[in-house]
C-alpha cells in the first residue's frame, strides 16, 4: 500500500510539474519589451529584501513580547496582548496598511513610507508568530516544568534550559511558513507607493503590456528570498532535535 501511494504521488506530482514547465517554456516571450526595466526590477528586489529582513527581525521581537504578555500571570498584559493579536489577525493586511499610513502615521506627521510599511508588516507577522510561539511553549508537557523545579531551576532557568530549546524545535516549521508569507505580503506595500519588487513589475507591465514578461521575474525573485528560509529552518530543526 505504501509503495502504491509513493508511486501514485510521484506520478501525479511529476506530471503536474512537467505540464507547468512545458506551458511556461513553450510560450513565446518578448523579453526585449521589458529589458529597459531590469534596473528597476533589481532595485525593487533590493527594497523587498530590506523590508523583509527588517520586518522579520522586528516581528520576532514583537512575537516574543506578545507571547510573554499572553503567558503573564497578570490580567492586564494578558488581556492587552490577546486584544492586539485578535485585532491584527481578524483584519486584512491591506486595510491595516491603508489605515496605518494614511490615518495613524499621517496624524503624527510620520511620512516615511518605508518605515511605516516596515512597522505594519512587523506587527502583522508578529501577531501570527505570537500564537505560534505560545502554542509551542504550552505544548511542552507539565512534567518538564515539574522536573526543572525538582532540580532547583528558577523560572528563568527553566525557560532557558528546558522549555525554549524544546519549543524552538516545535515552532520552526510554522515560523518558517510565516516568514515566507511575510516576504510575499510585502508586495501589498505598493498601495502606499513603496517601490518594492511587485510595484516595479506592475509599472513595467503598465508601460509595456508585456504581462507575462513583467510578472515571471517575480517567481524567481521571491523564490530566491523564501527558499533560504526553508533551508535555514531545516538546519535549525536538526540542530534542536532532542530526544524526549
Q: Dihedral of CA 56/58/62/65: which sign?
A: positive
Q: Quick one: which of 30, 41, 29 has its CA closest to 204?
A: 41
User: DSSP secondary-structure letter at 49?
Assistant: H
CB 221 within 8 A of CB 197: yes
**According to the model, what pLDDT value does residue 243 have?**
54
User: Is 208's pLDDT higher than 60?
Assistant: yes
**According to the model, what pLDDT value does residue 160 have?**
84
Measured in whole angstroms, the distance separating CA 45 from the mean position of its chain's CA atoms is 16
Q: What is the pLDDT of residues 5-15, one digit of tens each?
A: 888 888 888 89
Residue showing cell 507547468: 20
CB atoms within 10 A of CB 232: 13
Give CA torsion, residues 128, 130, 136, 140, to 10 deg.
-150
Q: Quick one: which of 25, 21, 23, 33 has its CA closest to 214?
A: 33
Q: What is the pLDDT of residues 214-239, one digit of tens each?
A: 999 999 999 999 999 888 888 777 77
Q: What is the pLDDT of residues 169-182, one digit of tens each?
A: 889 889 999 999 99
Domains of the chain listed by start with CATH number:
129-244 (1.10.3720.10)
CB 233 within 8 A of CB 81: no
**According to the model, what pLDDT value does residue 10 have?**
86
**According to the model, what pLDDT value does residue 242 have?**
58
Q: What is the pLDDT of residues 18-73, one digit of tens each?
A: 888 888 878 788 889 888 999 999 999 999 999 999 999 999 999 999 999 999 88
| CA gap 232, 53 in Å, rounded | 14
Q: What is the pLDDT of residues 58-116, one digit of tens each?
A: 999 999 999 999 998 899 999 999 999 999 999 999 999 999 999 999 999 998 999 99
Considering only the C-alpha atoms of the chain, give the largest distance between any 2 of them, rounded to a whole number of Å: 70
**According to the model, what pLDDT value does residue 170 have?**
87
More confidently predicted of 46 and 2 = 46
CB 165 within 8 A of CB 157: no
Find the radius of gyration of the CA atoms of the chain: 22
Who contacts 189 (Cβ-Cβ below 8 Å, separation ≥6)? Answer: 51, 97, 113, 117, 121, 196, 199
Amino acid at each position: 500500500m505504501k509503495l502504491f501511494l509513493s508511486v501514485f504521488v510521484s506520478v501525479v506530482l511529476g506530471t503536474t510539474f512537467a505540464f507547468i514547465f512545458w506551458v511556461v517554456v513553450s510560450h513565446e516571450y518578448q523579453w526585449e519589451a521589458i529589458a529597459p526595466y531590469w534596473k528597476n526590477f533589481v532595485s525593487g528586489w533590493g527594497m523587498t529584501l530590506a523590508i523583509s529582513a527588517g520586518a522579520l527581525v522586528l516581528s520576532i521581537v514583537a512575537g516574543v513580547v506578545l507571547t510573554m504578555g499572553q503567558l503573564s500571570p497578570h490580567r492586564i498584559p494578558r488581556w492587552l496582548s490577546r486584544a492586539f493579536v485578535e485585532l491584527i489577525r481578524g483584519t486584512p493586511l491591506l486595510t491595516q496598511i491603508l489605515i496605518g499610513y494614511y490615518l495613524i502615521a499621517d496624524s503624527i506627521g510620520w511620512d516615511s513610507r518605508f518605515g511605516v510599511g516596515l512597522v505594519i508588516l512587523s506587527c502583522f507577522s508578529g501577531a501570527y508568530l505570537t500564537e505560534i510561539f505560545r502554542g509551542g511553549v504550552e505544548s511542552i508537557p507539565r512534567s518538564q516544568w515539574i522536573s526543572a523545579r525538582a532540580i532547583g531551576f528558577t523560572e528563568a532557568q527553566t525557560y532557558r534550559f528546558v522549555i525554549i530549546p524544546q519549543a524552538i524545535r516545535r515552532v520552526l516549521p510554522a515560523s518558517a511558513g510565516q516568514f515566507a508569507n511575510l516576504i510575499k505580503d510585502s508586495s501589498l506595500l505598493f498601495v502606499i507607493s513603496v517601490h518594492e519588487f511587485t510595484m516595479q513589475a506592475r509599472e513595467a507591465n503598465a508601460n509595456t503590456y508585456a504581462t507575462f514578461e513583467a510578472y515571471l521575474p517575480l517567481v524567481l525573485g521571491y523564490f530566491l528570498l523564501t527558499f533560504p528560509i526553508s533551508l535555514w529552518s531545516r538546519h535549525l530543526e536538526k540542530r534542536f532535535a532532542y530526544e524526549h
